[in-house]
Amino acid sequence: MIPETYAIRPGRESDLGALADVERSASVTYFEALGGPRQTADVLPAAVVEASHAAGLLWVAADRRDVPVGFLAAEAINDFLFVKEVSVAREHQRAGLGRRLIQAAEDHARAAPYGAIALTTDRFIPFNGPFYERIGFREVRAEQAPLSLRTLLAQEIASGFEGKRRILMLKPVAALQDSTMPLYASRRQTGDRA
């Protein structure tokens, strides 16, 4: 058997029709982690995915046949690159694709004028909050969040997500910078004297 290889690439218009099935497949694992009956979640509305694509904020994990098996859809909200959805089809999970999709978004955020990457997720499921924390995201309490992100979190809770479990997480773009380059020039480098 040939091992599966994947490519992370910008989403194409021709990918859009396949992404809902990817999201449905991924949701089975999510509901199993919650301990509930096996079911599939509602998917992002097609208009949301299309808007991410039109803005250049849709990345796809494609298999060796170039078929989408995962995706990340984001949107720009003020100074934030907000990750609306990361999904990897169930049979392709645990291959590092979620991490690679986040890396694609981070690369974009580093090159664009974003202050941070933001997302909402489940606090407890290991491949949600704990995963994002391991890769540098930090929880931000709702009352400390900017109004735009606080409003998004409140809307998600109002739509049915459990308030005690749903959290907002941020990763500053400064944390994405090359660690070999100083983020700020020292006084000696700039000629300032103490």
What's the pLDDT score for residue 183?
34
pTM score, whole prediction: 0.84
Rg (CA), the chain: 18
Residues 120 and 102 sit within 8 Å (Cβ to Cβ): no
What's the pLDDT score for residue 161?
86
| CATH code for the structural domain at 7-178 | 3.40.630.30
Q: Strands 138-140 and 166-172, how do they pair?
A: antiparallel
d(CA 145, CA 80): 12
Domain limits of the chain? 7-178
Per-residue pLDDT tens digits of the chain, which is 194 residues long: 456 799 999 999 999 999 999 999 888 777 677 676 655 567 899 999 999 999 999 999 999 999 999 999 999 999 999 999 999 999 999 899 999 999 999 999 999 989 999 999 988 777 788 899 999 999 999 999 999 999 999 999 998 888 898 999 999 988 665 544 333 333 233 333 33
d(CA 69, CA 28): 15
What's the pLDDT score for residue 42?
76
In 42-126, beta strands by DSSP E? 58-62, 68-77, 80-88, 116-122
